[in-house]
Structure 1
Amino acid sequence: MVVLLRYGGVAGSSDRVSVDALGVATVVSDRSGSRSTRTLSSGDLAALRRALERSEIAALQRNYLDPRAVDAYQYDVTYQGVTVTADEGVLPPSLRPVVDMLTKLIAP
């Protein structure tokens, strides 16, 4: 259903979060070298679906990059065959709820 790649930051880390249509979330983190899977609650899955629909990802530009962004995270969000890449500081407001929900699944 949706895939988030988060990379960069001060440590230059890379994390991948994917959530399938049934709400099974898989997180792969290069920081810990771990892979974990969990199932979202029906409420969390419904909230994620609403946020994805409200993001209107197909109408967004494909890239939101800030050449001044040093040590910031960069995100690739892929939904319905469309990928949007954005630096932390210029993330489109409509994608912020999606990114926030998905990054909460990454273990600290």
Structure 2
Amino acid sequence: MRWRPHHPVHLILGLCVWSIWFVVLYGGLSVACQLTPPEPQQGPFNWLNALFWLSTLVVVGLLLWAARVLWRAAPRAEQPLGRHIGVTSAGLYLVSAFSTLAVAMPVLFLPPCI
């Protein structure tokens, strides 16, 4: 299937990606802290926080890529509704990327299993 930038699914897809990432991040954190918690004296610099920060950067990168693609495709839409969907979806992908970074900030500063 070809990825269509003016499809209405993009209006919710970015926020769905963010919400799934949120559940996986904090659900995974709970499971990892129960099974193999890192040493508390390591502080925020441990394997678990590194893994979560890496996954955060991957998700943010994908969301920013989608926002850029939709922003650039919006002027090429044949109908005004397609342009509106493209621009609005690009904005929602940007909001999702910002929200992902905002929620992940404690990973940089706090030990994971306190």
Q: Going by fraction, where is helix more abundant, 1 or 2?
A: 2
**Larger Rg, first or second structure (1 or 2):** 2
TM-score range, shorter chain: under 0.3
Structure that is richer in strand per residue: 1
